[in-house]
Amino acid sequence: MVRNLITKLEEGFLSVLLVSMTLLVFAEVIARFGFNAGIHWAQEVTLLLAAWFVLFGASYGVKVGAHIGVDVFVKLLPQNTHRFITLVAVGLCLVYCGLFLYGSWIYLSKMKMIGIELEDLPIPKWIPMSILVIGFVLLIIRFLQLGWKVVTNQADGFHFADEAEESMEIAKGLKETVLGEDQPQKAAKEGDK
């Protein structure tokens, strides 16, 4: 229940970030051509949204297996060896997160101490930059969870994204609709323009 809610929140937030970036850039184009005007803060905000999108999204990606990696070799190993290697890999991921979390913390503290604002908006710079720390904390949580799953034998690898598998969804949908009713020719009738 709670887990479901958190997933919904994460997914909602990520989608909102992507949509707002897109619409902001779109709005800039419209403003320039439709109204001969600029949105002077648009670029800075878009870029900060992008930083949030990536650094927030990375941990969600670990959770749902959206990252990519090379797992053809480890998959050839016997299951227990595979799990052991995965634990080592998760450990190294945690080292990565730890190093960046430490570095981000120092960077952020320095920015807060100096107290400069964003270029175009009267907001202290450290506030949008805090996603560095937030992002790595979230990433650490997700890797710890993954590690626990491997230890308790609920997972043996990172479960990477598979573009081939995702593409098969399109194929599945098509098989249900088109091949059920046959004849691609018919499709032309449904969708007129």
Residues 61 to 80: which contact another protein by CB under 8 A? 61-62, 64, 66-74
Among 6, 9, 114, 144, binds another protein (CB under 8 A): 114
Residues 124 to 153: which contact another protein by CB under 8 A? 125, 129, 132
Residues 26 to 45: which contact another protein by CB under 8 A? 26, 28-29, 32-33, 36-38, 40, 43-44
Cα separation, 16 vs 13, in Å, equals: 5
- Whether the Cβ atoms of residue 41 and residue 121 lie closer than 8 Å to each other: yes
Whats the size of the chain, residue-wise?
193
b vs e for 133-154, b when ≥16 Cβ sit within 10 Å of the residue's Cβ? Answer: bebbebbbebbeebbeebeeee
Among 6, 9, 99, 123, binds another protein (CB under 8 A): 99
Cα separation, 122 vs 160, in Å, equals: 41
Q: How far is the CB of 2 from another protein (least distance, A)?
A: 20
Q: How far is the CB of 100 from another protein (least distance, A)?
A: 6
102 contacts another protein (rule: CB under 8 A): yes
